[in-house]
Structure 1
Amino acid sequence: MAEIQRYAVYYAPRSGEFADLAGQWLGRAVETGMPLAQPDVQPLPAPLSQLTAEARRYGFHGTIRAPFRPAASVSEGDVSAAVKALAAQLAPVRCDGLQLENLLGFLALTPLGCEAALLELGAIVVETTNALRRPLSDEDIARRRPETLTPRQRILLDLWGYPYVMEEFRFHLTLTDRLPPEHIPAVMAAAKAHFAPIIDQPFTIDDLCLFGEDSEGAFRLIHRYALTG
């Protein structure tokens, strides 16, 4: 992958039914980043392609370490080696299932029954990869709208480059862009029907997935490292 702007550590489902459903919903394959035809869901307040435009750019994922610019001395090999070493030390996180939620206007799948294990996983990944990132610029900080953050979130932003980490971390799998309140019921019904085969089924985070942002702003999978600790 050429001209990587930022790296991120995500969860993304392995090839199979979940990955297929996710790729179809967002219109982009989880593994390859290739475009896919989205389902013709009716009735919706707008085409699904419009409701998922920004989510599609990032690809279907759950954030573990939010996107960061590498430090000047850090190569892709350094980032890959750090994530690979982490994955060898950490165990998979097993959850009871997934539920569909409205998170302040964004629809997302969120896991059940594994909150403490997810907080621990997220904290270790953030702490261990922190030395890889370039310090935030004034522009980076402004983009996070620090005036809207709590005092604790502002501290976390300064320490770790992202405000929603440690006790503020909440793992979720984003399905849409931010929706107007009047659009949410129809889109939620469509998402619930589309993801019915995997909702309420046991869910496991079994990999750390290293993603990179290309020069066009799209995130693509670089490597998948199994959690084997």
Structure 2
Amino acid sequence: MTTSAIRYAIYYAPAAESALWRFGSAVLGYDAAMAAAVDFAVPPGYAAADWPALTAEPRRYGFHATLKAPFELVEGRNEGALRAVLRNWAARRATLVLEGGLAVTALGRFVALTPAVPSAGLQALAFDIVQDFEAFRAPLSPADLARRLESPLTPAQRAYLEAYGYPYVGDAFRFHMTLTGRLPDDAVGPVATALDTAYRASVPAGPLAIDRIALFRQPERSGRFVLVDSVPLG
């Protein structure tokens, strides 16, 4: 692993002026569109002094849902080419609507927003992005590969890791917008309940249009990801 290499990621990130973006960024205390810290929106029942520690890990990545996981550019490719291909790709895709919107969900020991109703179209969109931008991804370093293999993986997930540098793609993909880091077991339920209350108070109910994809950049491994392009679909 090289600590100074730039990484890119293709994410879903809502429009920066949307209530959803404002909510997620405030929960994390970081706005990746501005590349700046923002005031925390601490959910009811939690102290302002305690909340930053619960969101430290996702704060590094900014509010998003992963479509193509962070990668270094393969030799011979550059950011300009990646952005151009991303824009051309997005222009040929239609907006996808999640009719049930999003719901606050406990996923193991962290809390995230997930589709209230599964979407085959969203699964297909994500896997298309994984495959169609594979030509830009440099192979995983031995250190990154070893880190991924520390997690228990199914044979299918291991095959995905070898093929695409990330195990949770294809039928292993689950769209989620992370709101916390790993929590103590007894904290997961209360935090999810508090965030659900905050989400319902901050974001209007109803369908969610997946109407754009975003390119994020991480200048170095210790740094935070920054939104560098938000590309409308269609």
The one-character-per-residue Cα deviations of 1:40-87 (angstroms, maximum 9, x if unpaired) are 445338711000001111000000110011101111111111211111
Amino acid corresponding to residue 48 of structure 1 in structure 2: W
Q: How does 1:52-91 map to 2 (within 5 A)?
A: 52-91=55-94
- The equivalences for 1:103-182 within 5 A come to 103-145=107-149, 148-182=152-186
1:100 corresponds to = 104
Distance in 1 (alpha carbons) for counterparts of 2:117 and 2:45: 33
Runs of 4+ in 1 over 2 A off after TM superposition: 39-46, 197-200
Give structure 2 stretches of 5+ with no counterpart.
Answer: none
Structural RMSD (CA): 1.7
What secondary structure is seen at the aligned counterpart in 2 of 1:195? helix
Which deviates further from its counterpart, 181-190 or 120-129?
A: 181-190
User: Structure 2 matches for 1:24-63, cutoff 5 A?
Assistant: 24-44=26-46, 47-63=50-66
Amino acid at match of 1:36: V
Asked whether the 8 Å contact 1:13–1:30 carries over to 2, the reply is no
Percent of aligned pairs sharing the same letter: 37
C-alpha change, 1:114 and 1:93, in structure 2 (3 Å) is farther
Q: 1:83 to 1:155 in 2, by over 3 A?
A: same
Q: Deviations over 1:186-229 (max 9, x none)?
A: 2112211111043742111111100000234210001011000x
Indicate if the aligned counterparts of 1:4 and 1:212 stay in contact, CA closer than 8 A: no
Residue identity in the other structure for 1:49:
P
Q: Is the Cα–Cα contact under 8 Å of residues 153 and 168 in structure 1 kept in the other structure?
A: yes
C-alpha spacing 1:150/1:114, structure 2 compared with 1 (3 Å): closer
Contact 1:7–1:213 (CA under 8 A) maintained in structure 2: yes
Query: Which ranges of structure 1 fall in alignment gaps of 5 or more residues?
Result: none
User: What is the identity, as a one-letter code, of the residue corresponding to 2:128?
Assistant: I
Q: Which amino acid aligns with 1:201?
A: G
